[in-house]
A and B are shown apart, each in its own frame.
Chain A
């Protein structure tokens, strides 16, 4: 038996005896475990599951054991993922620490930074948020103006961030700040970490077109940050920032947004699949009676399948080390556009029952479709707009001349 088969057998056995039964059911939104200083576990099994997985470092399977990670090879982590999927295990921990900060810190952080922060990410003890976008800096992120000025042993941070997911619930923030105003915009940015409990920080939730959201505005007024919290070198934060954005795109894909699944999944409701919904609301039995919609749905599903094969291929290629680096941009862009198409088709499929806002007259899953459709419009904006992703592909993959070179400053 190969060592990989051994690993699979051992993993399967361990999961059998350690994954609680209730953790083998589809995830419910309010039972997602985000961790943090004051974690909430609506289901007590979630706590047990997190502790058991974190003990083995399997919340972050490929991270080094030195910092509490699982220390698995890529192949082993694939096996683990397959075995988790086999029993429909819920993610033990969901966090921006795992998906975004951790990988960047492992690449660019000092040993001290890693020792301090990585184990807590693995165990879900600290919940992180991302301080990137600002009111005046969206797609042109590098124009950001939140500033950090050196004063003795501290930086004094002033400014504001926007679209900070869960800023009101996070314990720490990884934040882009301007540390030099007199150089080209990309060369004066630094990457710092600080405690959200620091004095001078306030947050305000943002209401979206789809209703309430995890997004916040975050304000900094003379916030003191020890200089030791600078990651990488002063004024060289843009490199880390870009790398982290790649991880973010990959994370967005792994959330299922860009998985190529043409169904909404995890539900037996009549609106689980577009074609199922279309037939249900028309009273169709054998085939969809609206030929135009049928063609559109077929096209959508074919594109979804093609996209799922492409995601799968990019995993196979990255294992063989031959994948293009900007693949994350391509997957992010196409996956998000697909998701928007899915919801437009769902609305067509359901008709006026898919247009309720609240209250009587609509089933819960119908009301959810309305909100999800509205929310999906943000998919191609957050994590870099589709247009920015296309710029990245044109420049990094296709090698076309840089259109931004004329507006560098």
Chain B
């Protein structure tokens, strides 16, 4: 398992970093927020990201991708995390392209993946039904009709749901409310009759949506993966997404920490630099150590995703380790980011607050630290 970046990954990371710092600095997000932008991301920047091939990073060449692996997508996400770049990279690329690639039929892959890589198609996973992540708790129903299924239910926290053209809807085709059996995934056009989409503006200035499905009909061909047995595949997709999200969180965490360090070396009080106070130094040294642990976990998890011999159980453990650890450390570092900047850290004019806001949304998405500790303990049989 490689815990150090390969030369190619390092080059990609440097390029991604340059791009994000120059074309998509944090101010872009601030302007999107202040102008109450309709889409919630900058279309011109997204177009450039597509041109750089970011949407096809982990997609096979057969379907128009670049086969750079999750290690490649991971370093890109880490850099977009530094500048808090808002784009469909997570909703469409990390989650939905992965779902289609992992679970789709050849036909589904051929029709959807090239469109995602080319930027014509935005997609979103409609999974959560309550304010806490619980992927096997599915009440949305999929009932058999003569030529397909009828979907009924409601979804929340659907990332970029207000701009997605297609949803992957997780629904229950059989079984009890909390059972892992009986879960199926369906491809649903956002314009289908019976689909209502309500945009929700989140605290991190990114967007999600609440979706309701009222007698939405889909054909047999809309089933993504195995009918009734969709949970295992879904869980794998979620694990990949959790690891990718952890990579993005790592970038944000490192950025906050560097900003903190810079401030400690520049701000004077009582006639000395505040960075000379041991009360702050030890907190900084502890954060540094926690961040080093985060780096190792993210590298280990990403390289496991690109290792064909790694078992699903191994991936699941790493995904929960990564999401639990990164969630905790992002909370620590973003809180310290405010505290160590003092009064100016509380002002909207100063950027550090954006990271605090992003931290909480990223923590909640796809399971917070306690969700993943519980999951890890179960995976480890205790």
* Interface set, chain A 301-352, CB cutoff 8 A to B: 301-303, 305-307, 309-310, 312-313, 316-317, 320, 322, 330, 333-334
Q: Does B278 contact A (CB under 8 A)?
A: yes
* Interface set, chain B 333-354, CB cutoff 8 A to A: none
Interface segment out of the listed B119-127, B217-225, B296-304:
B296-304
Q: Does A209 contact B (CB under 8 A)?
A: no
Interface segment out of the listed A7-15, A199-207, A239-247, A392-400:
A392-400
Select A330's contact among B272, B289, B324, B374, beta carbons within 8 Å.
B289
Quote the shortest CB–CB distance from B169 to chain A (angstroms).
Answer: 32
The residues of B that contact A279 with a CB separation of less than 8 Å are: 382
The residues of A that contact B300 with a CB separation of less than 8 Å are: 309
Cβ of B3 and Cβ of A313 under 8 Å apart?
yes
Given A305-B321, A306-B297, A317-B4, do A401 and B275 touch, yes or no (CB 8 Å)? yes
Cβ of A275 and Cβ of B275 under 8 Å apart?
no
For the complex, count residues of B whose C-beta is within 8 A of A: 41
A288 to B295, CA, bound (A): 30
* Interface set, chain B 2-34, CB cutoff 8 A to A: 2-4
A287 to B380, CA, bound (A): 10
The residues of B that contact A140 with a CB separation of less than 8 Å are: none
Q: Does B273 contact A (CB under 8 A)?
A: yes
Cβ of A403 and Cβ of B380 under 8 Å apart?
no
The residues of A that contact B294 with a CB separation of less than 8 Å are: 306
A-B contact count (CB 8 A): 122
**Shortest Cβ distance from A273 into B: residue:** B382
Select B382's contact among A297, A305, A317, beta carbons within 8 Å.
A297
The residues of A that contact B273 with a CB separation of less than 8 Å are: 401
Quote the shortest CB–CB distance from A260 to chain B (angstroms).
Answer: 10
The residues of A that contact B377 with a CB separation of less than 8 Å are: 275, 287-288, 294-295, 297-298
Cβ of A400 and Cβ of B380 under 8 Å apart?
no
A402 to B373, CA, bound (A): 38
Quote the shortest CB–CB distance from A400 to chain B (angstroms).
Answer: 4
Q: Which has the most chain A C-beta neighbours within 10 Å: B1, B281, B299? A: B281
**Shortest Cβ distance from A287 into B: residue:** B382
**Shortest Cβ distance from A402 into B: residue:** B276
Cβ of B261 and Cβ of A398 under 8 Å apart?
yes
Cβ of B373 and Cβ of A310 under 8 Å apart?
no
Quote the shortest CB–CB distance from A285 to chain B (angstroms).
Answer: 10
Select B4's contact among A297, A320, A393, A401, beta carbons within 8 Å.
A320
Q: Does B44 contact A (CB under 8 A)?
A: no
Cβ of A394 and Cβ of B272 under 8 Å apart?
no
Quote the shortest CB–CB distance from B280 to chain A (angstroms).
Answer: 8
Quote the shortest CB–CB distance from A389 to chain B (angstroms).
Answer: 8
Q: Does A267 contact B (CB under 8 A)?
A: no
Select A400's contact among B4, B276, B370, beta carbons within 8 Å.
B276
Cβ of B293 and Cβ of A306 under 8 Å apart?
yes
Quote the shortest CB–CB distance from B31 to chain A (angstroms).
Answer: 33
Q: Does B211 contact A (CB under 8 A)?
A: no
Given A313-B4, A317-B4, do A302 and B325 touch, yes or no (CB 8 Å)? yes
The residues of B that contact A310 with a CB separation of less than 8 Å are: 292-293, 295-296
A334 to B325, CA, bound (A): 15
For the complex, count residues of A whose C-beta is within 8 A of B: 42
A228 to B95, CA, bound (A): 69
Q: Does B265 contact A (CB under 8 A)?
A: yes
Cβ of B275 and Cβ of A393 under 8 Å apart?
no
Quote the shortest CB–CB distance from B382 to chain A (angstroms).
Answer: 4
Q: Does A278 contact B (CB under 8 A)?
A: yes
The residues of B that contact A151 with a CB separation of less than 8 Å are: none
Q: Does A77 contact B (CB under 8 A)?
A: no
Quote the shortest CB–CB distance from A197 to chain B (angstroms).
Answer: 43
Cβ of B297 and Cβ of A309 under 8 Å apart?
yes
Q: Which has the most chain A C-beta neighbours within 10 Å: B276, B289, B324, B376? A: B289
Cβ of A390 and Cβ of B382 under 8 Å apart?
no
Q: Does A391 contact B (CB under 8 A)?
A: yes
Given A313-B296, A320-B4, do A403 and B376 touch, yes or no (CB 8 Å)? no
Cβ of B282 and Cβ of A399 under 8 Å apart?
no
A358 to B270, CA, bound (A): 55
Q: Does B164 contact A (CB under 8 A)?
A: no
Q: Does B378 contact A (CB under 8 A)?
A: yes
The residues of B that contact A82 with a CB separation of less than 8 Å are: none
The residues of B that contact A398 with a CB separation of less than 8 Å are: 261, 281, 284-285, 288
CB 8 Å contact bits of A354-376 with B (1 = contact, 0 = none):
00000000000000000000000
Q: Does A107 contact B (CB under 8 A)?
A: no
**Shortest Cβ distance from A324 into B: residue:** B292
Select B3's contact among A309, A397, A399, beta carbons within 8 Å.
A309
* Interface set, chain B 234-284, CB cutoff 8 A to A: 261, 264-265, 272-273, 275-278, 281-282, 284
A403 to B373, CA, bound (A): 38
Cβ of A302 and Cβ of B275 under 8 Å apart?
no
Cβ of B284 and Cβ of A403 under 8 Å apart?
no
Q: Does A387 contact B (CB under 8 A)?
A: yes
**Shortest Cβ distance from A300 into B: residue:** B373
A295 to B378, CA, bound (A): 11
The residues of B that contact A22 with a CB separation of less than 8 Å are: none
Cβ of B264 and Cβ of A400 under 8 Å apart?
yes
Chain B interface (Cβ within 8 Å of chain A)? 1-4, 261, 264-265, 272-273, 275-278, 281-282, 284-286, 288-289, 292-297, 299-300, 320-321, 324-325, 370, 373-374, 376-378, 380-382
- 30 A–B pairs (Cβ distance < 8 Å), ordered by A: A275-B377, A287-B381, A287-B382, A295-B377, A297-B377, A298-B380, A299-B324, A301-B376, A302-B321, A302-B325, A302-B373, A305-B297, A305-B321, A306-B321, A306-B325, A309-B296, A309-B299, A310-B292, A316-B4, A317-B4, A320-B4, A330-B288, A330-B292, A390-B286, A393-B285, A393-B288, A397-B285, A401-B272, A403-B276, A403-B278
Chain A interface (Cβ within 8 Å of chain B)? 275-276, 278-279, 286-288, 294-295, 297-299, 301-303, 305-307, 309-310, 312-313, 316-317, 320, 322, 330, 333-334, 387, 389-391, 393-394, 397-403
